[in-house]
Amino acid sequence: MDFQRLLLVVIFSMSGLFLFQAWQKENNPTPPAQVAAKDTKAAPAANGTAPAAKANGSSDVPGAASTAPAAASGAAPANAVATPAVGEVFTVETDLASYRINTVGGVIEEVALSKHRDGADKSKPYLTMMKGGDRLHVAQTGLFAQGVELPNHNTVYTKVSTNTKMGTSDTLEVRLSAPIAGGGKNDLVYTFKRGSYIVDVTHEITNGGAAPITPTAYFHLHRDSKVTGGSNAMIGIFTGPAVYTEKEKYKKVSFSDLEKKKTNLHPADATDGWVAMVEHYFVNAWLPKQGDKREFYTSKQDGDAYRAGVKFAVPAIAPGATGKATMPLFAGPQEQELLKAAAPGLDIVVDYGIFSFAAKPMFWLLSWFHGLVMNWGWAIVLLTILIKAAFYPLNAAAGRSMGKMKLFAPKMKELQERYAGDRVKLNQAMMELYKKEKINPMGGCLPILIQIPVFIALYWVLIAAVELRHAPWVLWIKDLSAPDPWFILPLIYMATAFAQAKLQPPAPGMDPIQQKVLMYMPVAFGVMFFFFPAGLVLYWTVSNILQIAQQWQINKMLEKEQAAAQALLKR
């Protein structure tokens, strides 16, 4: 197979890959969208997958954890609330986000990220949690115990704190309080920290009864199946629950599997790990303390709603004593350094698909260059130069072969005319000429093949890395993760591709149809690049320009060498 045929195979294989990914996204089975239900859903049982039976037809509090003594698996607490009350909704403002909290259950109903903008309307902050209209994505928490009525996410709390703005402080504490039937109280405390997307959610449980209590605390994320985060049309980024443990690593749980009530989708019991709701560019995750025993659960709820959470037993609280249950909540962007610092394995939610092995070092290099120039577009340019420099010897050898093919094209044509009726002899004569002139007809293949994994890895980085979301380059390029709005980069790419084709002649013996396909390939690729991220087109265009410069220099050098050799022969 000659170079051009191999190139065609590679090109059409790539096109087929991206088209197949697009088909997967369009045909991925997703539960039918419905208007988001309120907060009255069936609860997961102790195994974390199947819904538990409702008590009085209304409870949606997770069943008793396996660590709670004498608790019935899947049993609802005695204080199940048939109809959630209407509470006060107030806003907490920090340096990175604003949080809307409802005093009914202390539910976090909205998280607006001030440094990240909405994909459709950049004048608005991005909402990584929301409740309203046909959308539902909230964080809920509560308590239950055998024989004791404890506050849950349907209980009406009283807002104790008056200050809900961080201002210049390093931390902000917001406290809600609810009585416990039979004596005592539960204070639900949110602790916000400057420069952090992590909120510490704490239950301070005061036992006012006559006997010890052993509560179970639960924390879960409750959302619909609608895709958010600006998912790219060319590829499907995972959206849905995920569970991580050191033993079984990262487990994605699709909405469709929960819809089908599949079991054993993720670990149930562990002493490490976290649970999250993942979407394109952003993640909300409960992060239990390492070493503490916990139980993970996921479930399908009523309507278009799904749940992913974690629960654990609180040590026994003696009469008159106060116990605590704390759970950090991360609600923010998938910035990899922040994720690594938040919890072990949390950075895995950045979805590079099957190309993580190449995309991760690619992003590391891009980040390093970004630290030098403080612009992701110029970082891509520098990365392209580095790749070209790293493979310069290989490219130079391939370039010399291609240049020699152009110089000796007349001899090759002569051989084709001489052996027009005998293909075997033509091939033998061609091989002798290649050997004599040290021409490798496959020399141009390797540089192309090397660029393919780089191309795919960079494609995934541009799609999955929130650091490049809405990242500008120059002038009209305001978002390197989105297509060029004026198609200027794809047109420049077409021009460079045509120029490159002029410097590299078609292989001898190529039929006219193949030559026409190669001639118009830059147009086909350029049109495809209309829909690709601008950063990816920038990489390919710069790569073409560098390749043109290198090939032009090699061709000139070969012409001088040939002229010098001919001059020696005339002497």
Query: What domains are there in the chain, each with its CATH number?
Result: 3-21+359-570 (no CATH), 31-349 (2.70.98.90)
Determine the pLDDT at residue 53. Answer: 33
Angle among Cα 531, 347, 288 to the nearest 5 degrees reads: 140
* 192: pLDDT strictly greater than 80: yes
* 2: pLDDT strictly greater than 50: no
Residues 84, 278: Cα–Cα separation, whole Å: 27
Residue 66, CB-side half-sphere exposure with 13 Å CA sphere: 13
Residue type present at position 129: M
pLDDT tens sequence across 326-357:
999 999 999 999 999 999 999 999 988 777 88
Name which of 236, 238, 232 is nearest 532 in CA terms.
Answer: 232
Q: pTM for this structure?
A: 0.78
- Going by pLDDT thresholds of 50, 70 and 90, the confidence category of residue 178 is very high
Burial class of residue 209 (count of CB atoms within 10 Å of its CB; 0-12, 13-18, 19+): middle
Say which residues have a Cβ less than 8 Å from residue 240's Cβ, sequence separation at least 6.
Answer: 225, 252, 253, 254, 255, 277, 278, 306
Residues 196, 89: Cα–Cα separation, whole Å: 23
The string of DSSP letters for 262-314 reads ---SS-SEESS-EEEEEETTEEEEE-PPTTS-EEEEEEE-SSS-EEEEEEEEP
Higher pLDDT, 89 or 85: 89
Residues 81, 305: Cα–Cα separation, whole Å: 19
Strand partners, 173: 191
The mean pLDDT value of the chain amounts to: 80
Q: Which residues of 455-492 are buried (b: 16+ CB within 10 A; e: fewer)?
A: bbbbbbbbbbbbbbbbbebeeebebbbbbbeebebbbb
Maximum mean pLDDT: which of 374-383, 516-525, 543-552: 374-383
- Going by pLDDT thresholds of 50, 70 and 90, the confidence category of residue 569 is low
Angle among Cα 551, 553, 558 to the nearest 5 degrees reads: 90
pLDDT tens sequence across 11-31:
545 555 554 444 444 344 433
Q: Are 298 and 306 in contact (CB under 8 A)?
A: yes
Tokens of 155: 């209980």
* Token pair 């980024």 in the structure block, residue: 237
What value does the mean pLDDT take over residues 555-559?
A: 69
Determine the pLDDT at residue 488. Answer: 93
Residues 365, 509: Cα–Cα separation, whole Å: 42
- Going by pLDDT thresholds of 50, 70 and 90, the confidence category of residue 159 is very high
pLDDT tens sequence across 441-477:
655 566 667 667 777 888 888 888 999 999 999 989 9
Residues 239, 122: Cα–Cα separation, whole Å: 22
Residues 375, 393: Cα–Cα separation, whole Å: 29
- Going by pLDDT thresholds of 50, 70 and 90, the confidence category of residue 171 is very high
Residue 377, CB-side half-sphere exposure with 13 Å CA sphere: 19
DSSP state of 148: B
Sign of the CA dihedral running 400, 402, 406, 410: positive
- Going by pLDDT thresholds of 50, 70 and 90, the confidence category of residue 81 is very low
Backbone angles phi, psi at 313, to 5 degrees: -80, 135
